[in-house]
């Protein structure tokens, strides 16, 4: 859209907004229980006027700080700045969550139009010379001894935000930075939309002869998808994980396994309108230019400055420590899978699309465990109730379903979270199944975030999203144990959001700490004491038998080489892209070939994410560039922390849980992350529990 058309569009929007302002729910207080968003009143036409209103409000808030004639102080400058933009944040939180769960062309177009406007607005603030002078004055002249730890952390963060985003640049450099930021905002948004769109419509329609090897649950799910897509009497496999992974696990049709797998890993690489290969080098080169402009050698150095890892060198050292033992284990696993192929009288070499199928054969042979035995015990509602029960055991909190709250989609469920004494903590939305327009994967986000400015406690409104196996017919949604662990993981993020105890929302943890509260929850999922409370047979209500629990635990090391290697390979890919120091017209396909050769990745395994669909590092939504390693860095913390509970002899040790809630959840972001962990654990984390858990030692 050219600038004249864009301006005409916004003039029309402003006129419409002014004449119909009272009908836009974003302009009014929300008269809903707990002031959750009134989804039934919000229309697509409301977003852009509300966005523009939010920009105007924040500009006025900034002007008020700048025009204050009294000497800059922590209160009238730092706290005042931290509190700006709340209206815009409210609109953005609703819009971004709806676009992630119920996207359509209209919402995508709004996002594309607003992205460069929002970026310019942010740059106008961060590059405002008068505002920075006031912030710098407070930074240079405040007696740090009179501030609390949290206030000192906030002051350092805000001052650092300005410096790291160009406040000290010359005017000419600021112009260049603005252009880079604008281009990146559009490119990263487009990347994520392209990946989603390239996979949303893809399907393979199966006839009855194509179903060989599939379990009844997989066939039922495929028939359900087919009916929803207008293929009555057929079966359909899509690129949603609950569809393609079970298909690859059980289908005896090797040709179809290859077709499905290839379609999944080629999202963004189909030379069509959604292709991302040309976008990637543009994003990478712009990030190099921005890092250089800000005084850093590369993007990773810029990003990691605020992480627990601190430097790219530390990340690489860490990854390589895990790489060799993980690769050796993966090679052993590949040998086992190849042996089964030969044992079956076949002569072909194991390929990536064969791994799930033969890994399942090994699991059944070595551990006498298969997915069909487990799924009947993992009704998604029971699993969710199980993690509620676990939270009650640890922290005394309760979850009560509310049917009186507005929802953005029928399947969504809402819960009020309370303390043991009945006082309100927040609201949790759960949205667990795939649908058209919903981004893939699982995540936690929020419609409102906790803060306590000036004693005004704001209660969080949190959302857990998944793409778990859907219910079929009169059966509930019976999910895999891998999906169970994902549900526990995302719920850990939700607890982090719900149980924070901070003054300011601008207090955030580094990426390599953020995954700790989520990953530690996964540890409880396979513990017998916990399983007995949520793994109930969907027909009989009987708890999972001890025999199956033993099988789950015995198989805990199964396929760990594969899982660790594919993840580490993606982490290396992220770091290699973002430690580049010279711009070039990079070819993503050739770049990945060079990476595979460098790290010695075996051909039977590919990185968990190829570059052209690596949303974590190239999409604006996720924001893990130079940070995908964070999951396994945080795994050191989570394994060490869970060992703390185990060694106490009580999985629900109240004393440890109180410390965990206070420091790891409540005060996270209010001080240095390593210090936060030490206050909880009493010492620095050790890598030993992680190596043991993964069978790498």
The last residue of a domain, from among 265, 292, 319: 265
DSSP H helices, 229-308, are 241-250, 254-265, 279-293, 299-304
The pairs formed by 114-117 with CB atoms below 8 angstroms and a separation of 24 or more are 114/48, 114/51, 115/185, 115/186, 115/189, 115/620, 116/182, 116/185, 116/186, 117/51, 117/55
In a domain, 239, yes or no: yes
Residues 12 and 80 in one domain: yes
In a domain, 112, yes or no: yes
**Residue 5 scores a pLDDT above 80:** no
- pLDDT tens track for 183-192: 999 999 999 9
Q: Please say whether the dihedral angle defined by the alpha carbons of residues 479, 483, 484 and 489, taken in this order, is positive or negative.
A: negative
**Residue 237, phi then psi, degrees to nearest 5:** -110, 135
**Residue 356 scores a pLDDT above 50:** yes
pLDDT at 154: 97
Element of type H or E holding 181: helix 171-200
In a domain, 141, yes or no: yes
**Residue 169, phi then psi, degrees to nearest 5:** -75, 160
Residues 78 and 214 in one domain: no
Element of type H or E holding 194: helix 171-200
The last residue of a domain, from among 231, 265, 299: 265
Distance in angstroms (rounded) separating the CA atoms of residues 224 and 218: 10
- pLDDT tens track for 542-577: 999 999 999 999 999 999 999 999 999 999 999 999
Lowest mean pLDDT among 371-375, 414-418, 651-655: 371-375
Average pLDDT estimate for 665-691: 93
pLDDT at 620: 78
Distance in angstroms (rounded) separating the CA atoms of residues 412 and 595: 42
Is 110 in contact with 47 (CB distance < 8 Å)? yes
In a domain, 468, yes or no: no
Residues 240 and 104 in one domain: no
- Residues in contact with 117: Cβ distance below 8 Å, sequence separation at least 6, in sequence order: 51, 55
- Residues in contact with 168: Cβ distance below 8 Å, sequence separation at least 6, in sequence order: none
pLDDT at 8: 46
- pLDDT tens track for 302-313: 999 999 999 999
In a domain, 142, yes or no: yes
- pLDDT tens track for 477-535: 999 999 999 999 999 999 999 999 999 998 889 999 999 999 999 999 999 999 999 99
Distance in angstroms (rounded) separating the CA atoms of residues 127 and 124: 5
Distance in angstroms (rounded) separating the CA atoms of residues 382 and 379: 5
Residues 22 and 142 in one domain: yes
- pLDDT tens track for 572-631: 999 999 999 999 999 999 999 999 999 999 999 999 999 999 999 999 766 899 999 999
How many C-beta atoms surround the C-beta of residue 491 within 10 A? 29
In a domain, 52, yes or no: yes
Distance in angstroms (rounded) separating the CA atoms of residues 182 and 119: 6
pLDDT at 571: 98
Its domain, for residue 236, covers 202-265
In a domain, 55, yes or no: yes
- pLDDT tens track for 225-238: 999 999 999 999 99
Residues 31 and 100 in one domain: yes
Average pLDDT estimate for 47-63: 98
Give the count of domains, the chain: 2
Residues 89 and 231 in one domain: no
pLDDT at 17: 47
H helices, E strands: number in the chain: 28, 9
In a domain, 60, yes or no: yes
Residues 29 and 118 in one domain: yes
Nearest residue to 506 (alpha-carbon basis) of 181, 161, 163, 164: 161
Residues 140 and 45 in one domain: yes
Residues 82 and 221 in one domain: no
Residues 231 and 125 in one domain: no
Q: Please say whether the dihedral angle defined by the alpha carbons of residues 158, 164, 170 and 175, taken in this order, is positive or negative.
A: negative
The last residue of a domain, from among 168, 194, 215: 168
pLDDT at 21: 64
- pLDDT tens track for 9-40: 444 545 444 445 669 999 999 999 999 999 99
Distance in angstroms (rounded) separating the CA atoms of residues 498 and 590: 44
Tell me how far CA of residue 406 lies from CA of 30, 102, 222, 409, 444, in angstroms: 11, 15, 31, 9, 19
**Residue 668 scores a pLDDT above 90:** no
**Residue for token pair 């929803």:** 228
Terminal Cα distance for the chain, rounded: 57
pLDDT at 621: 67
- Active-site residue numbers? 490
Residues 27 and 127 in one domain: yes
Q: Please, which pLDDT band fits residue 284 given cuts at 50, 70 and 90?
A: very high
Q: Please, which pLDDT band fits residue 1 given cuts at 50, 70 and 90?
A: very low
Q: Is 142 helix (H, G, I), strand (E, B) or coil?
A: coil
Residue 34 sits in a domain of what CATH number? 1.10.1370.40
Nearest residue to 631 (alpha-carbon basis) of 648, 656, 609: 609
Percent of the chain with pLDDT over 70: 97
pLDDT at 3: 42
Residues 12 and 60 in one domain: yes
């Amino acid at each position: 859209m050219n600038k004249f058309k864009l301006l005409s569009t916004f003039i029309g929007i402003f006129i419409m907004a002014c004449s119909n302002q009272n009908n836009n729910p974003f302009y009014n207080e929300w008269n809903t229980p707990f002031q959750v968003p009134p989804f039934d009143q919000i229309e697509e036409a409301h977003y852009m006027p509300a966005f523009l209103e939010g920009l105007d409000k924040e500009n006025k808030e900034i002007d008020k700080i700048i025009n204050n004639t009294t000497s800059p102080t922590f209160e009238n400058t730092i706290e005042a700045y931290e509190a700006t933009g709340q209206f815009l944040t409210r609109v953005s939180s609703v819009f971004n969550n709806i676009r992630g769960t119920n996207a359509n062309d209209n919402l995508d177009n709004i996002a594309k139009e607003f992205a460069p406007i929002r970026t310019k607005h942010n740059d106008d603030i961060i590059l405002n010379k008068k505002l920075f002078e006031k912030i710098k004055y407070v930074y240079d002249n405040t007696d740090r001894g009179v501030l609390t730890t949290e206030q000192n952390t906030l002051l350092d963060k805000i001052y650092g935000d300005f410096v790291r985003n160009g406040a000290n640049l010359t005017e000419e450099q600021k112009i260049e930075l603005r252009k880079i930021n604008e281009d990146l905002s559009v490119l990263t948004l487009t990347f994520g939309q392209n990946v989603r769109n390239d996979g949303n419509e893809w399907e393979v329609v199966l006839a009855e002869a194509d179903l060989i090897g599939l379990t009844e649950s997989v066939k039922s799910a495929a028939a359900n998808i087919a009916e929803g897509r207008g293929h009555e009497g057929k079966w359909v496999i899509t690129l949603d994980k609950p569809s393609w992974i079970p298909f690859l696990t059980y289908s005896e049709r090797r040709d179809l396994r290859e077709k499905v797998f290839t379609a999944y890993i080629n999202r963004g690489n189909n030379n069509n309108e959604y292709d991302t290969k040309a976008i990637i080098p543009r994003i990478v080169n712009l990030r190099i230019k921005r890092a250089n402009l800000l005084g850093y050698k590369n993007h990773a150095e810029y990003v990691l400055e605020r992480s627990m890892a601190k430097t790219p060198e530390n990340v690489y050292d860490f990854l390589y420590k895990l790489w060799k033992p993980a690769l050796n284990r993966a090679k052993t696993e590949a040998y086992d899978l190849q042996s089964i192929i030969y044992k079956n009288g076949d002569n072909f070499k194991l390929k990536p699309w064969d791994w799930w199928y033969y890994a399942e054969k090994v699991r059944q042979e070595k551990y006498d465990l298969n997915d069909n035995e487990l799924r009947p015990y993992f009704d998604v509602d029971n699993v969710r109730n199980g993690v509620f029960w676990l939270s009650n055991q640890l922290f005394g909190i309760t979850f009560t379903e509310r049917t009186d709250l507005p929802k953005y989609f029928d399947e969504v469920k809402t819960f009020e979270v309370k303390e043991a004494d009945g006082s309100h903590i927040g609201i949790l939305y759960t949205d667990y199944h795939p649908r058209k327009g919903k981004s893939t994967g699982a995540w936690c986000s929020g419609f409102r975030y906790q803060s306590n400015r000036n004693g005004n406690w704001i209660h969080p409104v949190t959302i857990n999203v998944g793409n778990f196996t859907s219910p079929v017919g009169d059966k509930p949604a019976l999910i895999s144990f891998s999906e169970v662990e994902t549900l526990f993981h995302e719920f850990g993020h939700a607890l982090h959001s719900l149980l924070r105890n901070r003054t300011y929302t601008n207090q955030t943890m580094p990426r390599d700490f953020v995954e700790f509260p989520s990953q530690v929850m996964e540890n409880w999922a396979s513990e017998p004491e916990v399983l007995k409370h949520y793994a109930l047979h969907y027909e009989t209500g009987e708890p999972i038998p001890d025999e199956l629990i033993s099988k789950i635990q015995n198989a805990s090391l199964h396929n760990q080489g594969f899982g660790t290697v594919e993840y580490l390979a993606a982490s290396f890919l992220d770091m290699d892209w973002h430690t580049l120091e010279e711009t070039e017209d990079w070819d993503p396909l050739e770049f990945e070939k060079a990476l595979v050769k460098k790290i010695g990745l075996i051909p039977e395994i590919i990185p968990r994410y190829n570059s052209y669909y690596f949303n974590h590092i190239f999409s604006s939504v996720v924001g893990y560039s130079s940070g995908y390693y964070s999951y396994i860095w945080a795994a050191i913390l989570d394994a060490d922390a869970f060992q703390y509970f185990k060694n106490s002899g009580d999985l629900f040790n109240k004393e440890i849980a109180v410390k965990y809630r206070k420091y790891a959840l409540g005060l996270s972001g209010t001080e240095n992350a390593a210090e936060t962990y030490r206050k909880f654990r009493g010492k620095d984390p050790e890598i030993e529990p992680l190596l043991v858990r993964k069978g790498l030692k």
